[in-house]
Amino acid sequence: MSMDTRKTGLALSIRQPWADQVMSGKKVEEYRSQPTNVRGRIYVYASLTPDIRDAAHMPRGVIIGEVTLHGCREDGDRYAWLLSDPVRWPEPRKPAQRANPVWFRPWGEQSLL
């Protein structure tokens, strides 16, 4: 799949170690309770709270890269958000805006969600 170059300006909060697995290409679906219509390049924010204790040494509270969100499908009582083309940034970057649990605009742009 070719990389979608549309920039959404949105960051998706994902707990560690899952955020790192998205960046490595091992995790290509992010499961959520709601569907999404967002498509294009999004930032991956490694949330401050890790999902498991073993992830405490991984970067948290920073944007660690970008990924293409190219689809969403229903999977029982949850939704699989389909991810591809991850690009890990050489240096994680702390967002200028406070992160939200799902979507936020990390560089201070007016939120659309």
**What pLDDT digit, counting tens, does each position of 34-78 carry?**
999 999 999 999 999 888 888 878 999 999 999 999 999 999 999
Angle, alpha carbons 65-30-42 (nearest 5°): 35
Burial of 63 (0-12, 13-18, 19+ CB in 10 A): buried
Condensed to tens digits (0 to 9), the pLDDT of residues 82-107 reads 999 999 999 999 999 888 889 999 98
At residue 94, the 3 state secondary structure works out as: coil
What is 7-104's CATH topology?
2.30.130
Given a contact cutoff of 8 angstroms between Cβ atoms, the answer to whether 96 and 104 are in contact is no
Cα first-last separation, the chain:
27
Q: How far apart are CA 18 and CA 94, in angstroms?
A: 18
Residue labelled with tokens 């290509």: 28
**18, 80, 87, 85: which is closest to 47 by C-alpha?**
18
User: Can you give the pTM of this predicted structure?
Assistant: 0.88
Angle, alpha carbons 19-98-59 (nearest 5°): 30
